[in-house]
Amino acid sequence: MVSRSEGYRRGVGKEQLSIEILQKFLHSKIGESGEIIQAAEDNYELGDLRFPSGATIECKGQPIDPNTYQYNFVEVFEVTNNPLHSEGFRRLGEVLRVAPDQLADITVTCNGQNFPLGHLSCVSLSVLSIHNATYTAYVNYQQGGRYIYLYQQAEITNHLREATLRGLRRGAGNSNEGTYAVFIPIASMRWARRDSEWIYEGTRSETEQLTILQRQVAAPHGPN
């Protein structure tokens, strides 16, 4: 477990690098790279990249490796003292489709101890952009990019709900001390970079899934 300030310090730069890798990957696969969402509130709500259709993709920089880690670490929320986050607990329940009292009863594990989550006053939702984005990408940004996971919205939100109901981890790994997280299955769509080429290693048809992705992010057709 690390302090909140240390956690943010460690994250400086890696997200931008991950986005750049993702943009290059998307351009090579579907001919679209998206525009970076600059406005802080839009980024928090919608994700990192916006496409001509209005679809968005959230991008997370993380040292994923399907050969080493069977599950993917996902931050769900962070406890804060910011009154702007006073509706966060209620919104978390809406995102996860869990009633507030049921949410409060979820088991939290921290340093080998288990306790109920309880009703929290101020919560910043790490998964809000995941919930609202059309896709969420996890990028291993090492060595110019090593692995990419791409989750469809329904796939990752269902994983998050199921995992959260099983229990949350507080301060796990190198996350902030006030961060609550879960472990979910790795994405069914995933790629590994071999030399300069991205090789598909997923369980669904790459051609079919890229066709769906391209259709969702491309500009809508105007009237004939």
pLDDT, mean over the chain:
91
Structure token digits, residue 192: 């590994």
pLDDT of residue 164: 97
177 phi and psi angles, rounded to 5 deg: -65, -25
pLDDT of residue 59: 97
Closest by Cα among 123, 114, 187 to 155: 187
pLDDT of residue 178: 87
pLDDT of residue 219: 73
User: What is the Cα–Cα distance from 27 to 210, expressed in whole angstroms?
Assistant: 12
pLDDT of residue 36: 97
Is 111 a residue whose pLDDT tops 60?
yes
Is 153 a residue whose pLDDT tops 80?
yes
Q: What is the average per-residue pLDDT within 75-100? A: 94
pLDDT of residue 124: 95
Q: What is the average per-residue pLDDT within 51-74? A: 95
User: Helix axis angle, 88-96 relative to 153-166, nearest 10°?
Assistant: 110
- 207, exposed or middle or buried, with CB in 10 Å at 0-12, 13-18, 19+? exposed
* Whether the model pTM is above 0.95: no
- Band of residue 175 on the pLDDT scale cut at 50, 70, 90: confident
Q: What is the pLDDT of residues 198-224, one digit of tens each?
A: 999 999 899 999 999 999 998 765 444
pLDDT of residue 218: 83
Q: What is the pLDDT of residues 1-57, one digit of tens each?
A: 444 444 444 445 789 999 999 999 999 999 999 999 999 999 999 999 999 999 999
pLDDT of residue 221: 55
